[in-house]
Structures are given as C-alpha cells and as structure tokens.
C-alpha cells in the first residue's frame, strides 16, 4: 500500500474510533435507579422467545417516559416504544435500531402467530395489562 493510502486508512480508522466514542458518551445505556431484587422475577426469562438474542445491560431497573407507539409482535410480545424522560438510558442499539426510542416488551401478552414462539408462552400469561 502506498504512503497516501496508509495515511487515508489511518485517518478513516481514527474517525471511526472517534464516532464510536462520541456515540457511547451520548448513549451510555444507564438506568436511573435500581429496584429491590424482590421486585424482579428472574423466572420470566423462561418465557422469552430466543433469549440468546437479548443482552441484559442493567437488571432490575425502571424507566419512565412517554409512550411513542405500541404494537404486537409475532412472538406474542407487546412492543412498547418509549421516549424516556432520561435520555441517558438509551444505548447505541436504541439509537440505531429503535429510532432513538427505548423498546420494552411485555412478554406473552397475546397468542404468538409464529409457531416456533408458542413453546415460550406455553402455560404462561402476562400479568401486565396494556390498553390497545
């Protein structure tokens, strides 16, 4: 590679690293407060369809915000997009995939239309009531 090519590559890499650092500072993904462990039910994970696709960032926390949209997922979950009061709860994935909103899910809210998701909700129904 030529010297100008190496220089251009180094500059591009530096810009990319800088953008990631700025994005992480802007979207840290920190919840405002933790709940007492007794308020959280770890057994709910048994009813999440394909839990390996999710990553817990802050367990047992709460978030307040304005509901932007509500929709039903094919996996039986109710998807709620929040515009959180504290923007610091959003992370980079919320910014890039959630349109800047924080998407929360009420698991097993309704019967899944996706047959492979039915096993996760078998014998379980959500205790959370959502208005449609």
What is the distance between the alpha carbons of residues 39 and 120, in angstroms, rounded to a whole number?
A: 22
Alpha helices in 1-132 (DSSP H): 3-26, 92-97, 118-121
Q: What is the reported pLDDT for 118? A: 92
What is the distance between the alpha carbons of residues 48 and 122, in angstroms, rounded to a whole number?
A: 11
Q: Decide: 59 and 76 in contact? Cβ < 8 Å.
A: no
Q: Is pLDDT at 116 greater than 70 in this prediction?
A: yes
Please state the domain extents for the chain.
3-121
Q: What is the pLDDT of residues 40-91, one digit of tens each?
A: 888 888 898 888 988 777 788 888 888 988 988 899 999 888 888 877 777 7
Provide φ and ψ at 28, rounded to 5°.
-75, -20
What is the distance between the alpha carbons of residues 12 and 16, in angstroms, rounded to a whole number?
A: 6
Provide φ and ψ at 73, rounded to 5°.
-90, 155
- Contacts (Cβ under 8 Å, ≥6 apart) of 108: 47, 76, 77, 120, 121, 124, 125, 126
Q: Give the pLDDT band of residue 125 (cuts 50, 70, 90).
A: confident
Q: Nearest 5 degrees, angle CA 66-CA 72-CA 73?
A: 115
Q: Give the pLDDT band of residue 20 (cuts 50, 70, 90).
A: low
């Amino acid at each position: 590679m030529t010297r100008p090519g190496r220089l251009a590559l180094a500059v591009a890499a530096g810009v990319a690293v800088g953008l990631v650092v700025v994005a992480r500072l802007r979207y840290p993904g920190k919840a405002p407060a933790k709940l007492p462990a007794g308020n959280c039910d770890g057994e709910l994970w048994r009813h999440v369809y394909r839990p390996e696709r999710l990553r817990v960032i802050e367990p047992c926390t709460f978030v307040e915000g304005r509901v932007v949209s509500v929709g039903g997922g094919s996996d039986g979950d109710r998807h709620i997009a929040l515009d959180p009061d504290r923007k610091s709860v959003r992370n980079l994935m919320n910014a890039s995939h959630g349109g800047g909103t924080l998407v929360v899910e009420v698991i097993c809210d309704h019967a899944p239309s996706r047959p492979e998701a039915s096993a996760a909700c078998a014998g379980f129904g959500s205790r959370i009531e959502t208005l449609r």
